[in-house]
Structure 1
């Protein structure tokens, strides 16, 4: 027996070898054919932008002008799989693309004319036909079978079923289950009922005849026919099928989702060819923000204001949860398709909080420190406050709350423009970064370009203790603000850049949260609708842009209101126009935010300061108050708002330490304001007490003083300025100076020739000759200062 078996194997050996070579040849031929005839390209899908929860926010037609929305694998529910496979191809799980039994059966029916004529198409063969539509011939059917086998070799069954559900026709320009589900039932496929699922399963066989919304009765009859068959074969639980049979068919064609149109177009351009882009937006806040913005701007049209933009940011994740680029995307007359979130506009006063925060960190100020608020020339730049008035001296917190321009420019001059613009660059301000070498002191008043996106990101940093991180528009995707230096990256978490210390950020927030302020909109003084937020307004030059940006612990919201054309409006101010919309948004979107507020960090402390100056109390500071300060950072300079002076018994003369007599004098305290503040008070007719004349017998009276006097400065005319005078008019130039309280008289010179003597606060006028002019001023203490200017006539 053993010998016989061996002889049999030997006899079969050549045959087995020939079969093996034949099989190898077939495999090689299959690989070559696969290379020579590759699969058709992947279908072109309709770009979809989804919300954070996966629901579709905005859908676009694909390049062939069809609604073909990609159905993800997780959206193909077991019920949908069973219904499609039961109806179209019951042996789908078992064949290799072609069902041999179905082919034989179909051939018999077609040849002998018995039963319904069929094509034996499997789901895989239908995918092949949908990928490469051809006329229905026997030759094309053979190619279809070959393609089906090729598809089975390249894709899994789940992927083939997914392709089928993405390509199956539903009439008109609608293809795929997801497109039909959203456009007819306004639900994604995984939210459909069993009745709706089966209704969609029966349409593809006759997509031109069975049109939802037009032929619902026919579709209902077809649906119930198949439900009864499924009931007979127990494909689903009996109760589920009974409920499906009882469910009416109420389907109509709806428009595609169109929320967040500006962001949707932005993301589709950023990720070309990607069928599904997951954004960070939340459907509820987005829809609410769009409605509030549209209705609010409708009320402003009578004032000549036609547009607004809104951005809502989650402070913890920096995810953008609502993005409104304009009040109405379809409003072509008001350029509604312009994206106001990314439009570069003048930021007005909205950059001031960062400036004051930097001043706190650099030790230049604390909230109670007094700053001069008087007309000042900063090397030819003379800023004015919004209301054209000055207050003499104001605290830092009042200057910020009242958004005063002159104190802010003075603080920026002390800080330095490069230090300020460098922080803005770190905060993602791209226009500022490009223009930084050309920017000056006007930057803090809006003399630069910024976008709503950049400003909202900056205020989100204030809400997060001064830590800046770029905003996120896509789930798990890149942030919007570009790369962050490696030195600022913290572990594996979000890239962050420290703009301010937590202490400085808290001080800014504490000031901006004050409710007693001039930019509180009318009607909100005692309103319960006023949210607990910190906010800042801004208005650009010419009233072209109105801004309001606010934040609490959870959210930062930025609002811009204006016209995309750049046209201004007398009513366009941040306080009156932008802030009401900001409050409405907070009350609608963050109404359930906890009421806890920012707590002062441990790096912040209290100290007593002089109430008159905000500085560390000096020897003569009787009235003291508490103020925050940063230990080791805040200035420890002592207050000198008053100084002790030796005066004669009758108060007629003052003495310096070099000429004080042995007796017959007394000590007296005199106010010691800055020269420019003293000059402003005198010019306004306000009390400006001056020291008695210095002892004329003192040897220092015409020489150097004792070092305690304030410097002398010319406030008009401006240094290095050019003045154009009209020959036909009697125009004159103003001469004025800022001098200390000890100065009683000054002496004016023009081109080194004596003009006249005048009081220290007196305004003098003269008519200069054309050409270069040198103006000099000397005081009665021997100090001298001069400026150069150019005068021309026309």
Structure 2
């Protein structure tokens, strides 16, 4: 019996163990199937898309500069995690869902209580919605039915599996309604209290916490008395619950509620629109603008342009850049964004316009780096034909010969074209391309000598950064329009646990510094590209800081508010664009004034229209800049040069001045402003080496002038020491093209269209060596006439290809080919 019982007991134990294993397997299988079912349902019914936020642009200090309606025309500004203060979190959770931290989206106890109240009609009818359930309903609004409530519960559970508690609370605070088209705590805080949520008082925070349950009955600005009464009721309730210190609650109860709806922040509208277009999926864009500077710049620009209306000038644009960081700190695209009549929504910062003379400082700096010029180097400022291009100075007058520093300070056109001709247009445009000039890059092969006088298109942004390069010792970097810590992409919420935000306390990603200059995908260049040397940048700055110059506004020299800056003005052809760009060690400010229609104005010049605004901006924005200035780089040195040429003195240079130069780079050419000539005893004529007698002559020094300078002096009647005629008995024909006449009209390889009925004629003119007295003109190798060097000769040619020849009285000859077409 004992053995039989033991055997039966063993079988029973084995049977029970097998049953437990089978039950365990069934449970595990059931759990697995449930998980698979949930995963399948999760895939089949994905979470609703993230809400569409109102794009906002922040200033450098984090305040909101500009806000835009979202695509559904609602004010729904994204509340960042750092803006959810402990006070706001406590008030919301105490009022809406005190068990939020512990449940999984649904509070079963609250559901049972609500079902009982609703079934028996006792107490307030409620749906027992948790914050998570409210998020589900706000993302997918539906009619309130029992079936939809079940779907809401399922969605809430799904949200809890995907998002952390802090992210669910953030979504709730971004979606709660505040009446009309205002949604979210941040939108309400800005539109009603003009503050972000983290700057609100306890009373203001509680006010925003109580409105979402009754957004139609508690409307701020309309029902302030009812809102105040409800706010105080909840304040007392929170105080009784010990949620906030007693004294804080008492102070909050005394705070008045006199609010109204304000307009959304609207500073920097042009930059905001630009950044929103650049980052269309980013809810919060952090710019580098300084709020106070931006506001002052907009006010100054708007008020200044209003005074110009009677002159036919309606618009202006301003850019303020921090030289050290390359951060744009103020960005004014037009005088008034809302001025539709004058195209105020156009962005003058990026508009491509003629730059006038604003590129000249950069040209001269490049020429210094090539060793072509120094500040005291003399340049001819006389009428000159550069392969068919005849530039004129702004005032239509010439000055003979001028130093480079005077040519730049007085913004003379002819010397600038001469230097560009010597430097080479490709060399100049390649540097502009490296400096980010997009229009120059696109049209580089078609640009010529006129590019230095405004013949190439440029934007205020590009020009201003070129001057930032000068201010920073010739080092080029792209301008920064967004804050250095900002990222161009904003990720979707990730399932981090509560209390695990990123280092910035925000779900926004934190990336590398963003360089953005208006064109997407313009990266790839190494930062800090050296475009010009620090020495050339300093010499250019030293010239631009001089006050003895014609572009100083009338009365500015005697003003106590004249800022210590280096600056350059520019005026485009037809007076359509006025520029003034200046800098000190801290800031560079660029100003454009004109009309977006392209209409010119007689008063539109850089000196009289743009520079006064530039000075006002410096005095307002950089009044507290350190009073330090640039010092010469160690690589720069001094030397004595001839005052007549700016070159290293020779034995015939008694007048010498001190000049800067770049050792090892600047030209060491000796001065040849005079040359030795053999003159007859009576001074009547000169000898060449071949015809000089054995005795009876003397050696004298005569000016060694360029032919165009001689022609200018002759035309203007300016006295100079002119060479006597060459020995008439000399039988040597002195040929050679190095001193041959230069035909200034007509231009070689040019087509001329003449009107037969108007009896139009072709002008013949030339420049020659200063010892030439007369020239002979030929058309198609047929002699036309002899004329004085400076005489203007006219001919009525036959249509077709013509060969125009000019021979001087020393036997030297020059030819040009032209085509003449005759109109009936």
In structure 2, the CA distance between the partners of 1:485 and 1:212, relative to structure 1 (3 Å rule), is: closer
Post-superposition offset of 1:731: 4.8
Partner Cα separation in structure 2 for residue 544 and residue 68 of structure 1:
42
Moved more, 214-223 or 776-785: 776-785
Question: What is residue 530 of structure 2 aligned with on the other side?
Answer: 498
Question: What is residue 666 of structure 2 aligned with on the other side?
Answer: 634
Return the match for 1:741 from 770, 779, 792: 770
The 5-angstrom pairing of residues 624-773 of structure 1 reads 624-700=656-732, 702-704=733-735, 710-728=739-757, 731-773=760-802
Post-superposition offset of 1:645: 1.6
SS at match of 1:150: helix
Q: Decide whether the 8 Å contact of 1:68 with 1:166 is kept in 2.
A: yes
Return the match for 2:251 from 218, 231, 243: 243
- Asked if 1:431 corresponds to 2:439, the answer is yes
Partner Cα separation in structure 1 for residue 212 and residue 518 of structure 2:
46
Q: Decide whether the 8 Å contact of 2:287 with 2:482 is kept in 1.
A: yes
SS at match of 1:257: coil
Question: What is residue 415 of structure 1 aligned with on the other side?
Answer: 423
Q: Decide whether the 8 Å contact of 1:412 with 1:441 is kept in 2.
A: yes
Post-superposition offset of 1:581: 0.8
Post-superposition offset of 1:159: 0.5
Partner Cα separation in structure 2 for residue 484 and residue 499 of structure 1:
18
- Asked if 1:781 corresponds to 2:781, the answer is no
In structure 2, the CA distance between the partners of 1:752 and 1:238, relative to structure 1 (3 Å rule), is: same
Q: Decide whether the 8 Å contact of 2:75 with 2:182 is kept in 1.
A: yes
- Asked if 1:611 corresponds to 2:643, the answer is yes
Alpha-carbon RMSD: 2.1
- Asked if 1:512 corresponds to 2:544, the answer is yes
Partner Cα separation in structure 2 for residue 74 and residue 178 of structure 1:
12
Partner Cα separation in structure 2 for residue 725 and residue 13 of structure 1:
112
The 5-angstrom pairing of residues 34-49 of structure 1 reads 34-49=42-57
Question: What is residue 273 of structure 2 aligned with on the other side?
Answer: 265
Return the match for 1:563 from 567, 580, 595: 595
Partner Cα separation in structure 1 for residue 399 and residue 653 of structure 2:
22
Partner Cα separation in structure 2 for residue 481 and residue 225 of structure 1:
52
- Asked if 1:550 corresponds to 2:582, the answer is yes
Partner Cα separation in structure 2 for residue 11 and residue 278 of structure 1:
65
In structure 2, the CA distance between the partners of 1:484 and 1:329, relative to structure 1 (3 Å rule), is: closer
- Asked if 1:326 corresponds to 2:357, the answer is no
Q: Decide whether the 8 Å contact of 2:803 with 2:818 is kept in 1.
A: yes
Post-superposition offset of 1:320: 1.1
In structure 2, the CA distance between the partners of 1:65 and 1:481, relative to structure 1 (3 Å rule), is: closer
The 5-angstrom pairing of residues 467-546 of structure 1 reads 467-475=475-483, 476-480=513-517, 489=526, 495-546=527-578
Count of residue pairs brought into register by the alignment:
784
SS at match of 2:443: helix
Q: Decide whether the 8 Å contact of 1:293 with 1:308 is kept in 2.
A: yes
Post-superposition offset of 1:556: 1.2
1:252-311 CA distance string (max 9 Å, x none) = 100111111111111111111211111111111111111111101100000001111111
Moved more, 291-300 or 470-479: 470-479
In structure 2, the CA distance between the partners of 1:485 and 1:39, relative to structure 1 (3 Å rule), is: closer
SS at match of 1:747: strand
Question: What is residue 492 of structure 1 aligned with on the other side?
Answer: none
Question: What is residue 612 of structure 2 aligned with on the other side?
Answer: 580
- Asked if 1:371 corresponds to 2:373, the answer is no
Return the match for 2:109 from 97, 101, 104: 101
Partner Cα separation in structure 2 for residue 140 and residue 716 of structure 1:
90
Question: What is residue 368 of structure 2 aligned with on the other side?
Answer: 360
Partner Cα separation in structure 1 for residue 611 and residue 783 of structure 2:
56
1:437-476 CA distance string (max 9 Å, x none) = 1111111111121111111111111111111111111123
The 5-angstrom pairing of residues 193-212 of structure 1 reads 193-212=201-220
Partner Cα separation in structure 2 for residue 568 and residue 357 of structure 1:
31
Post-superposition offset of 1:318: 1.2
The 5-angstrom pairing of residues 90-169 of structure 1 reads 90-169=98-177
Post-superposition offset of 1:746: 2.6
Partner Cα separation in structure 1 for residue 219 and residue 122 of structure 2:
31
Question: What is residue 495 of structure 2 aligned with on the other side?
Answer: none
Partner Cα separation in structure 1 for residue 211 and residue 799 of structure 2:
91
Partner Cα separation in structure 2 for residue 485 and residue 688 of structure 1:
57
Question: What is residue 218 of structure 1 aligned with on the other side?
Answer: 226
Moved more, 609-618 or 643-652: 643-652
Partner Cα separation in structure 2 for residue 180 and residue 728 of structure 1:
78
Question: What is residue 310 of structure 1 aligned with on the other side?
Answer: 318
Return the match for 2:35 from 16, 27, 32: 27
1:719-752 CA distance string (max 9 Å, x none) = 2333444445565444332222222333333332
1:381-405 CA distance string (max 9 Å, x none) = 1111111111111111111111111
1:144-203 CA distance string (max 9 Å, x none) = 111111111111110010011001111111110000000000000000001100011110
Q: Decide whether the 8 Å contact of 1:484 with 1:496 is kept in 2.
A: no
Q: Decide whether the 8 Å contact of 1:690 with 1:743 is kept in 2.
A: no
The 5-angstrom pairing of residues 328-407 of structure 1 reads 328-407=336-415
Partner Cα separation in structure 2 for residue 128 and residue 737 of structure 1:
87
Partner Cα separation in structure 2 for residue 265 and residue 156 of structure 1:
33
Q: Decide whether the 8 Å contact of 1:484 with 1:497 is kept in 2.
A: no
Q: List gaps (5 residues or longer) in structure 1.
A: 490-494
Partner Cα separation in structure 1 for residue 14 and residue 661 of structure 2:
102
Question: What is residue 64 of structure 2 aligned with on the other side?
Answer: 56
Partner Cα separation in structure 1 for residue 426 and residue 151 of structure 2:
71
Q: Decide whether the 8 Å contact of 2:743 with 2:767 is kept in 1.
A: yes
Moved more, 643-652 or 718-727: 718-727
Post-superposition offset of 1:234: 1.2
Partner Cα separation in structure 1 for residue 818 and residue 19 of structure 2:
118
In structure 2, the CA distance between the partners of 1:5 and 1:115, relative to structure 1 (3 Å rule), is: farther
- Asked if 1:456 corresponds to 2:493, the answer is no
Post-superposition offset of 1:206: 0.5
In structure 2, the CA distance between the partners of 1:749 and 1:78, relative to structure 1 (3 Å rule), is: same
SS at match of 1:98: coil
Moved more, 396-405 or 741-750: 741-750
Q: Decide whether the 8 Å contact of 2:350 with 2:518 is kept in 1.
A: no
SS at match of 2:785: strand
Partner Cα separation in structure 1 for residue 409 and residue 56 of structure 2:
44
TM-score normalised to structure 1 length: 0.95
SS at match of 2:730: coil
Post-superposition offset of 1:21: 2.9
Post-superposition offset of 1:792: 4.1
Q: Decide whether the 8 Å contact of 1:46 with 1:67 is kept in 2.
A: yes
Post-superposition offset of 1:112: 2.4
